[in-house]
Amino acid sequence: MTMRSRKTGDKIVLDGENLLPESKRNQRRWRMAYTAIYFTRLLGSLSKTALESRTKILRSLSYVALDVRDDTPRENLVSLINVDQRTLADMVKGKNLESLKQLGGVTQVATTILETDVKNGAKEAGVAHRRDVFGANRFKKPPAKSFLSFVVEAFKDMTIIILLVCAIMSLGFGIKQHGLKEGWYDGGSIIVAIILVIAVSSVSNFKQSKQFEKLSDESNNINVQVVRDGRHHHLSIFDVVVGDVVSLKIGDQIPADGMFLNGYSLKVDESSMTGESDHVEVNGKNNPFLLSGTKVTDGFGFMVVTSVGMNTAWGEMMGSICHDLDEQTPLQARLNKLTSSIGKVGLTVAVLVLAVLMIRYFTGNTIDDNGRKEYTGSQTKFSDVLDSVVGIIAAAVTIVVVAIPEGLPLAVTLTLAYSMKRMMKDNAMVRKLSACETMGSATIICTDKTGTLTLNQMKVTEFWLGKETIDDDSLTEIESEVYQLLQEGVALNTTGTVNKSHATLVPEITGSPTEKAILSWALLDLGMNINETKEKCEIIHVETFNSEKKRSGVLMRKNNEKTIHTHWKGAAEMILAMCSNYYVRNGELKSLNEEEKVQLGAIIQSMASKSLRCIAFAHKKVAEDNGQASEKLQESGLSLLGFVGLKDPCRPGVRTAVESCKNAGVNVKMITGDNVHTARAIAIECGILSPEQDMENGAVVEGVQFRNYSPEERMAMIDNIQVMARSSPFDKLLMKFIQFQLTVNVAALAINFVAAISSGKVPLTAVQLLWVNLIMDTLGALALATEQPTNDLMARTPVGRSEPLITKIMWRNLLAQALYQVSILLTLQFKGKAIFGVDEKIKNTLIFNTFVLCQAFNEFNARKLEKKNIFKGIHKNKLFLAIIGVTIILQVIMVELLKKFASTERLNWEQWGACIGIAVLSWPIGCLVKCIPVSSKQLMDPKNI
């Protein structure tokens, strides 16, 4: 056997050998080679023996037959002879009918070239081979950003650049002044801190990028229905291969490029590919081509896949587009604006401090640690002046560092990513990071009914023939003609399928929940043979179900008969309006006058009041016209076959969830395709409507009624509407921890500014402030953000995205804690040496240590903005306790071990006790402040934030 390899676009010849495992193929090749060599040598040996013995040479046959056995089942192999993938792909992308005709049409391409059974689909055994030959249905992603690129981005931050320049200058002058052994501490400490900050930022952003990539894969993974070996399978879009037969219905996304095999009224929205909003009709005559990425808007059908992945039109387009996985949420955008505003304030203060310190230094008003003036005019060395100026500049830069909450945007990114991960664990697909944030601003939830408020597990619970309900005991009493018509209506007028591989196995039913429920009822309760009925009848034309007409119809005739039959199925009140007669149990056909229509309408309404979706069946015989059947389905003069009521139970806990939303000020509105009576009954069952509300007060409207409103009427009515029935998809389209962060910045800015103006020096160094701002704040904010949600959350009203970030309550808590911390820190700044009897370095260490511990203890206050019990439920947040513990441990290390790095001195037990005692006082202060009544309205104009 031979096998020619190829590149994309080349013609290939592949045989069954390619499907065998590598070890088997090698084994078979060795066996064939050994046989050939052995046989050749045998012939040579025989001929030599014959010649040497001079015996008479016997007459032999003119050919040699070798029997090389291959035990591989040939029926499981796919050869895919002469498949030119490029020609197929270009033909479909270019919608080239001429090329298709040359290949013999869609069926010929499917059966001969792709070796696919147009009815039973591809063979499961050949799927792996097809994937090897044609590729997987995946799109090539743009190269992911490397970790180094995030490091480079972090270095571009202006604050980091300024700090880095100051660090290098401090490093140079320090080494020059104190030598290499001692002089690198100040500058080196800042550099280490900068590296640490960049590392934290880069790692966080890099991990976030990876999470987005994973989320992108999840959001693109949709299920499709594929026919293989005659059975319908629900597969991931990534598992579709060339040659697959795919079932398409309204709302489905075309999973790959392919061609139309069969179906009815198939229309596709190609706006994603062409930009044109008009829906394109797909059929076997004029336009059998289907492009991946487009969506089915009407009808149903089957397609054969001709290209997948990067060989499709969508793949080609996606390959030319650069994806940017980074996104900025509204909160991040507003925080960046807030940070920019604070930065401007900090820069102004820094310039003022710089000017004051320069004036104090050059006028001889600053003294060194020995009590001597630092500047004495020409007597001061230039290098000393330069060192002092660099120190002053560093102090000014420290002010800028204090002012800008660098850790805030980083903490928000970490928090949102954490929230997204938690929501995905709860099976809530978050397609955008901003969704985790903006949900807190929602005031109205417009929800679908099926599958959201209900379990999406339809079941037929009632069946009516005329005005009589048929229970399980009387099903066998249905007259045979009515039974046969019902069987035809169910079997032929459906997009669902029944698969039964063995007589003893439970049949597998596929389709929409409604279709599955009706087929199950017909199959299991009525004992109907769905597939046999399909085989005995010929479908002439199908009018598919759509959201406007709420019904579907089929024109059919039995094999070897000329009589044409029309079958309709759909919303009961709409089918009833098309009928002039109705069947009763004994098969009698009765005339349907207006009075009886009212009575049957009352039956439909009573079923709807029990939350049942009511579906009706109707039929009409049509005489064949000159051997040619009209494709127009009759829409009047039909005979009603009966009603079925389908129950979709409400999800457990829905009523409680709706009540919680209402208490939180979030209004829940239901939008459904059911009629007004069913919709109202389910809305009452779910708690969206109260039993006292009726349809006259405007709480329940139909989609067509809503569409007919003027824009002004819609805006006037929208608040009152609670339920929209008989809706179309178009109708559905028509309908934080900042307190803790800013406490740190306000207190630190105040203490450094006052100290710099008064004494010419700052107690908190750049390294210490970087530690507080970027390490402890980020961890602290993350600890607060990972608090488990409680039921108290639903008692808060939604927060609009245009409202200010800082509320009055937040200002009250923030200013109280900041005022307390500033008072304590300034007391330590001016009286700390006298109070504790220590030198300048220990005093500054006390200030730094007290400041950090105050933030750690203030995190407990920030857990509850209004509640006085700040420890409630704290045992449930292990991460919060762990982060607080890690923060305190790191602070001990900073003070006790990293003296050179953090410019600190070791503290004794009494000094540590004083620092902790001061910090603990923030708890009773926070409790007392919360007794001050404050309205929940915002203090600042949104435009100012």
* CB-based contact 787:867 (threshold 8 Å): no
Beta strands in 35-190 (DSSP E): none
Question: CA-to-CA distance for 782 and 774, rounded, in angstroms?
Answer: 12
Q: H or E element: which one contains 812? A: helix 808-836
Beta-sheet pairing, 459-465 with 700-702: unpaired
Q: What is the CA radius of gyration of the chain?
A: 39
Residue with tokens 């417009």: 446
* CB-based contact 265:631 (threshold 8 Å): no
CB atoms within 10 A of CB 478: 20
Instruction: Check 448, 472, 525, 792 and give the catalytic one.
Output: 448
Output the DSSP codes for 639-666: EEEEEEEEE-PBPTTHHHHHHHHHHTT-
Phi first, then psi, for residue 540 (nearest 5°) are: -95, -45
Tell me which residue of 643, 674, 610 sits closest to 518, measured CA to CA: 643
Strand partners, 579: 638
* CB-based contact 319:131 (threshold 8 Å): no
Output the DSSP codes for 565-594: EEEEEEEHHHHHTTEEEEE-TTS-EEE--H
CA angle 281, 287, 289 (to 5 degrees): 100
Q: Residue 105: what residue type?
A: G
Task: Report the length, in residues, of the chain.
Answer: 945
Beta-sheet pairing, 589-591 with 612-622: unpaired
The structure tokens listed for 685 are 């069952």
Active site residue 229: no
Question: CA-to-CA distance for 585 and 569, rounded, in angstroms?
Answer: 19
Question: CA-to-CA distance for 456 and 648, rounded, in angstroms?
Answer: 6
Question: CA-to-CA distance for 249 and 494, rounded, in angstroms?
Answer: 11
Question: CA-to-CA distance for 706 and 734, rounded, in angstroms?
Answer: 10
Question: CA-to-CA distance for 824 and 847, rounded, in angstroms?
Answer: 9
| Cβ neighbours of residue 598 closer than 8 Å, sequence gap 6 or more | none
Tell me which residue of 827, 843, 853 sits closest to 903, measured CA to CA: 843
Strand partners, 537: 558
Q: Please list the active-site residues.
A: 448
